Amino acid sequence: MDLFLELFTDYTLRTVALGTAVLGIVSGALGTYAVLRRQSLLGDAMSHAALPGVVLAFIITGSREPLVLLIGAGIAGIIGTLFMLLITRYTRIREDSALGIILSVFFGFGLILLQVVERLGLPNRAGLNVFLFGQAATLLFRDVVLMAIISLLVISIVILFWKEFKLLSFDSDFGASIGFNMVWLDILLISLLVVAIVIGLQAVGVVLMSAMIVAPAAAARQWTDSLSIMMILSAIFGAISGISGAIISSTGAGLSTGPVVVLVISTIVLFSVLFATKRGVVWSWYSRLRRQRMLILESVLNNMLKLAEQHDDPTHPHALVVLEAMNHGQGGVKNTLSELIKRGWVVQIDPTHFSLTAAGIEEAETFLLQNN
Amino acid sequence: MSASTEILLIAIVTAVACAIPGVFLVLRQMAMMSDAISHTVLLGIVLGFFAFQSLDSPWLIPAAAIMGVITVFLVEMFVNTRLVKEDAAIGIVFPALFSIAVILISRYASGVHLDSDAVLLGQLEFAFFDRSQLFGLDIAHALKVMGIILILNVILLLLFYKELKISTFDAGLAAALGFSPVLIHYGLMMMVSITAVGAFDAVGSILVVALMIAPAATGWLFTDRLDRMLIYAVVAAVLSAVGGFAMAIWFDTNMGGSMATMCGVVFIIALLTAPDRGLIAVALRRMRQRWEFSQTMLAIHLLNHEGTDAEEDECRVDHLWEHLRWQPDFAEQVIRYAEGHGVVRRQRGILNLTDEGRAIAEKAMVR
């Protein structure tokens, strides 16, 4: 409880939690498209590709203003994206290799530029660490305000181009055939993704930013088939992991915010994959089990009806061995019979003989009708 | 051996050792797996450090390599639920494992020399100071490690060349012939992991990706044959290593960074200039095809009207563009192109086909 109180009273914690929440919302929302379009690793590549942009912006302007660095990072990310599109469109090299090359080469070039900064006598080692791992604790309230404004802008564009982006994600060829310029929409959407990545760099850093793009959306995907609901859920998951990550990391020394946020969102993914309704692993395992039991139930009931038809008395008792033989020796007949007894469709005459009740006959006949 | 020769040698050996498994990653569309593995081996090293209480233990490399294979296994487990696509699975698994590693380091191992950024960036410059013994020779530790890994990679490549080739290009056939694609897959992943662990001491984990992917992709731009692709990839790797070394000396910069940059430069040069598949070759081919197609159109048009009453009007040089619905300038260029190739001849403002031009038009129309 004290922790939640601190959320409202402690300036640093409040700022960090707000920042990571904003980041979670915008990366969750944009990540939805990345995951649906199978471009999850684009986020990873573009966050690395941003390094030379950040450093160049710093070298050129000499300013450490977040906005300046963000613009530099954004430009580098977009150049990286265009480069990737060029490689995949005109050569046989595929997207995964193109991403790998851009990620590592841009990053390597960024490292060289960092050394130039060092040569100029400016402190940078700390700066690099912030870029790599993020340092949410250094967030100022005005940084958060800037993040929020940019996020708002990004999200308004998403809403404005809602149906175009939907078309791009699900049926790009159809979109092109009815006259939308899909290439430009593609570039616009990726640019928005780059912006979302760049505003997260200061908080969680390069390596973990990719998880913030992919994980909330992958978790949200498990709960719904609707794009709008998926996006809202994804943003909520992002925000939850941001806030709880900030709170948890404030409790222990040596727990930096970025990794904790990533572990929280990874847990949400794991939970969603296991327990999501309809799609989740546990859910589908359980429903398969139920279907299986229902099938045996029907077939045993059916067999008993068939046997009963051989006799004048429909409630004539039948031997267990006969029923088991009729079920092709698949087993589970005994359990099924006790289930049928529980439902009042079958009564046990003696240890090895069972007969249908009136309700059971009716039930078996409706099953038969449904199946024919 | 002088320090700089030895560093250059480490750079070359590392680059070549990375390029060999890289070729198969590129061909199997698993390039980003190298990124994932090169990050998660950090967790393997941390856990290995806790187990053996030393950063010099030779067991750290196997521990880290096993973590790389575990990463692949976890990704595949996610994919097999069919709930998450492969790209998303990679993007979830490796940051999670990496996060655990970062937290473990900062909580329990902050006193030791196990900086996560040293792991990410590598320090080839200082490799010279870490000495080791091999057959009585005093060589840099990194050279010994990478040399062993390179030899291992080459031996495995030669031993399993056929299996790797067949399972890369036709996994179904490989399975039908009795090679287990799964076994080969995990064997390859083990190779990638071991190479990544060894290499990131020298160049850091992010730049391992550059050394694995860029030379292999460069090689693929030049050939369709696996054996040649391997050779070209190795050549590209050596060029990148030497170029990176030279660049680092000239500009006095980070060795890993300049090697990665040179990988990119070599790749871009290949991308532009590779015969047949480079961007320039593709652009030239498209341009030539455009001219040739237009020339054929022109020849067909002329053949159609050859010897008819309308010839005077249809084949007039100044009116041609109207009939073919071309821009006037473009029509003029096509005519000049066709004249240059001996397809048409101008006579008093009328365009006539040569015998060669007639053959072109007839051949195009019969098809």
**What's the pLDDT tens digit per position in B74-126?**
999 999 988 899 889 999 999 999 999 888 888 877 655 555 556 566 666 66
- What is the per-residue pLDDT for B175? 87
B212 and B320 in a single domain? The answer is: no
Q: CA B223, B225, B231, B237: dihedral to nearest 10 degrees?
A: 50
> Which value does ipTM take for this structure?
0.86
Would you call B281 an interface residue with chain A, using a CB distance cutoff of 8 Å?
A: no
Structure tokens at B38: 């090169």
Distance from the Cα of A281 to chain B's closest Cα (Å) equals 7
Structure tokens at B345: 């001849």
Residues 6+ apart with CB under 8 A from B115: none
Yes or no, beta carbons of B78 and A273 under 8 Å apart: yes
- What is the per-residue pLDDT for A272? 94
Q: Region A141-164: what's the mean pLDDT? A: 92
Rounded distance between C-alpha atoms, residue B200 and residue B194, angstroms:
10
Q: How far is CA A111 from the centre of its chain?
A: 32
Q: Looking up tokens 């693929």, which residue turns up?
A: B220
- What is the per-residue pLDDT for B361? 86
Of A215, A290, A200, the closest CA to residue A28 belongs to A215
Asked if A14 contacts A8 with a C-beta cutoff of 8 angstroms, the reply is yes
Q: B275-295 burial, b if ≥16 CB within 10 A, otherwise e?
A: eebbbeeeeeeeeeeeeeebb
Of A40, A109, A259, the CB nearest to B99: A259
Yes or no, beta carbons of B85 and A40 under 8 Å apart: yes
Would you call B99 an interface residue with chain A, using a CB distance cutoff of 8 Å?
A: yes
Which residues of chain B fall below pLDDT 50? none
| CB-defined contacts A:B, below 8 A | 204
Rounded distance between C-alpha atoms, residue B181 and residue A321, angstroms:
46
B320 and B355 in a single domain? The answer is: yes
Tell me which residue range forms the domain holding B53: 3-274
Of B294, B212, B300, B211, the closest CA to residue B258 belongs to B211
A134 and A273 in a single domain? The answer is: yes
Of B32, B106, B259, the CB nearest to A96: B32
Say whether pLDDT at A124 is over 60. Answer: no
Asked if A233 contacts A32 with a C-beta cutoff of 8 angstroms, the reply is no
Please identify among residues 63-92 of chain B the ones whose CB lies closer than 8 Å to any CB of chain A. 78, 81, 83-85, 87-88, 90-92
Yes or no, beta carbons of A215 and B91 under 8 Å apart: yes
Q: Region A227-252: what's the mean pLDDT? A: 91
Beta-carbon count within 10 A of B83 CB? 21
Task: State pLDDT tens for residues A273-321.
Answer: 999 888 888 988 999 888 888 888 888 888 888 888 888 777 788 888 8
B340 and B358 in a single domain? The answer is: yes
What is this structure's pTM? 0.84
- What is the per-residue pLDDT for B210? 93
Yes or no, beta carbons of A254 and B253 under 8 Å apart: no
Distance from the Cα of A137 to chain B's closest Cα (Å) equals 16
Would you call B261 an interface residue with chain A, using a CB distance cutoff of 8 Å?
A: yes
Yes or no, beta carbons of A108 and B30 under 8 Å apart: no
- Among candidate residues B252, B274, B296, the one where a domain is terminated: B274
Q: How far is CA A311 from CA A237, A357, A368, in A?
A: 63, 14, 19
Of A100, A110, A281, the CB nearest to B81: A281
Long-range CB contacts (within 8 A, 24+) of A1-5: A3/A247, A3/A250, A3/A251, A4/A247
B16 and B84 in a single domain? The answer is: yes
Yes or no, beta carbons of A256 and B106 under 8 Å apart: yes
Task: State pLDDT tens for residues A330-340.
Answer: 677 878 888 88
Strand partners, A355: A347
Name the DSSP class of B122. Answer: -
Name the DSSP class of B128. Answer: G
- Among candidate residues A279, A297, A327, the one where a domain is terminated: A279
Q: What is the mean pLDDT of chain A?
A: 85
**Regarding predicted confidence, which is higher, B307 or A264?**
A264
Beta-carbon count within 10 A of B246 CB? 13
Yes or no, beta carbons of B214 and A104 under 8 Å apart: yes
- Among candidate residues B248, B274, B300, the one where a domain is terminated: B274
Confidence of residue A78 (pLDDT cuts 50, 70, 90): confident
Q: How far is CA B259 from the centre of its chain?
A: 15
- Among candidate residues A261, A279, A297, the one where a domain is terminated: A279
Confidence of residue A223 (pLDDT cuts 50, 70, 90): very high
Q: Region A219-242: what's the mean pLDDT? A: 95
Identity (one letter) of the amino acid at B335? Answer: I
Distance from the Cα of A245 to chain B's closest Cα (Å) equals 12
Yes or no, beta carbons of B254 and A269 under 8 Å apart: no
Of B217, B252, B258, the CB nearest to A101: B217
Please identify among residues 4-23 of chain B the ones whose CB lies closer than 8 Å to any CB of chain A. none
Of B117, B121, B277, the CB nearest to A92: B277
- What is the per-residue pLDDT for B306? 80
Chain B residues whose beta carbon lies within 8 Å of the beta carbon of residue A273 = 78, 81, 83-84
- Among candidate residues A245, A279, A313, the one where a domain is terminated: A279
Q: What is the CATH number of the domain that holds B119?
A: 1.10.3470.10
- What is the per-residue pLDDT for A89? 86
Asked if B194 contacts B65 with a C-beta cutoff of 8 angstroms, the reply is yes
Confidence of residue A98 (pLDDT cuts 50, 70, 90): very high
Rounded distance between C-alpha atoms, residue B88 and residue A39, angstroms:
8
Asked if A27 contacts A231 with a C-beta cutoff of 8 angstroms, the reply is no
Name the DSSP class of A309. Answer: T
Task: State pLDDT tens for residues A12-51.
Answer: 788 888 989 999 999 999 999 999 998 888 888 888 888 8
Name the DSSP class of B114. Answer: -
Of B185, B237, B154, B197, the closest CA to residue B27 belongs to B185
A122 and A250 in a single domain? The answer is: yes
A264 and A331 in a single domain? The answer is: no
Identity (one letter) of the amino acid at B151? Answer: I
Chain A residues whose beta carbon lies within 8 Å of the beta carbon of residue B258 = 108, 112
Find the radius of gyration of the CA atoms of chain B: 29
Q: Which chain B residue is nearest to residue A210, measuring alpha carbons?
A: B91
Q: Is A79 exposed, middle or buried (0-12, 13-18, 19+ CB in 10 A)?
A: middle
Long-range CB contacts (within 8 A, 24+) of A278-287: A279/A222, A279/A223, A279/B83, A280/A222, A280/B83, A281/B81, A281/B83
Of B39, B261, B263, the CB nearest to A112: B261
Chain A residues whose beta carbon lies within 8 Å of the beta carbon of residue B95 = 207-208, 210-211, 215, 262, 266
- What is the per-residue pLDDT for B114? 57
Of B34, B117, B221, the CB nearest to A100: B34
B232 and B352 in a single domain? The answer is: no
Rounded distance between C-alpha atoms, residue B186 and residue B66, angstroms:
11
- What is the per-residue pLDDT for A158? 95
Confidence of residue A372 (pLDDT cuts 50, 70, 90): low
Tell me which residue range forms the domain holding A322: 283-371
Rounded distance between C-alpha atoms, residue B311 and residue B317, angstroms:
11
Residues 6+ apart with CB under 8 A from A174: A167
Phi/psi for A238 (5° steps) reads -60, -45
- What is the per-residue pLDDT for B128? 66
Q: What is the CATH number of the domain that holds A190?
A: 1.10.3470.10
B194 and B324 in a single domain? The answer is: no
Phi/psi for A369 (5° steps) reads -60, -45
- What is the per-residue pLDDT for B119? 59
Residues 6+ apart with CB under 8 A from B321: B327, B328, B330, B331, B332
Rounded distance between C-alpha atoms, residue B98 and residue A208, angstroms:
8
Task: State pLDDT tens for residues A157-199.
Answer: 999 999 999 999 999 899 999 988 988 898 899 889 988 888 8
Chain A residues whose beta carbon lies within 8 Å of the beta carbon of residue B26 = 93, 97
Q: How far is CA B270 from the centre of its chain?
A: 10
A275 and A287 in a single domain? The answer is: no
Confidence of residue A102 (pLDDT cuts 50, 70, 90): very high
B15 and B88 in a single domain? The answer is: yes
B124 and B166 in a single domain? The answer is: yes
- What is the per-residue pLDDT for A1? 52
Yes or no, beta carbons of A132 and B117 under 8 Å apart: yes
Yes or no, beta carbons of B100 and A263 under 8 Å apart: yes
Say whether pLDDT at A131 is over 60. Answer: yes
- Which helix (H) or strand (E) element contains residue B235? helix B226-251
Rounded distance between C-alpha atoms, residue B92 and residue B71, angstroms:
11
- What is the per-residue pLDDT for B206? 75
How many CA atoms lie less than 13 Å away from B152 in the CB half-sphere?
18
Q: What's the domain count of chain A?
A: 2
Q: What's the domain count of chain B?
A: 2
Please identify among residues 106-125 of chain B the ones whose CB lies closer than 8 Å to any CB of chain A. 106-107, 110, 116-117, 120-121
The fraction of chain A above a pLDDT of 90, given in percent, is 31
Q: What is the CATH number of the domain that holds B324?
A: 1.10.10.10
